[in-house]
Amino acid sequence: MLSARATRLLAAATLTLGATLTLSPSQAFAAAEGNYSIGSGSCQAVEKIELHWVNGAYHDEMANNPTQNSASDPYWCRFTMYDNGNLIWSSAPATGTGAQSPWFYDGPGHYMKACVQRYYNGTPQGSASCGPLN
């Protein structure tokens, strides 16, 4: 059985640890930052997830960075970004310049992914290759 003093010290230590974990900035960043390869063949990209300073705090932002866009007519590549299931950026109707998408805020309430799709004469070939949902 713990003495009254030991009980108070244990309670104080527990509260301090709880407050530290609650206020720790790293707790807001549990998402998987990193680079994820997506696509195949002549249509490839990297889903990029990075911490950026947004509105006074660090939050995830995501971009789709095409790394190979060498499909030739009648084939072409389409690079896209989705947020909560809604298309927010696409390299189409142009066949894609190979330029990275803008960075999109991926903080609380946002569930984003980057995708690559290969087309033949305007018809999608297979299913889109997408990075992890973040």
What gap in Å lies between CA 95 and CA 45, rounded to an integer? 14
pLDDT band at 1 (very low <50, low <70, confident <90, very high): low
Please name the residues in contact with 42: beta carbons below 8 A apart, sequence gap of 6 or more.
68, 69, 70, 71, 72, 75, 77, 118
Name the residue type at position 75: Y
Q: Please say whether the beta carbons of 113 and 82 come within 8 A.
A: yes
Give this prediction's pTM.
Answer: 0.72
Query: pLDDT, tens digit, for every residue of 8-53?
Result: 545 554 444 444 333 334 334 445 899 999 998 889 999 999 999 9
Quick one: tokens of 65?
């960075």
With CA atoms as reference, report the closest residue to 59 among 110, 107, 25: 107
- Mean pLDDT across the chain, nearest whole number? 79
pLDDT in the model for residue 99: 83
Average pLDDT over residues 75-102: 84
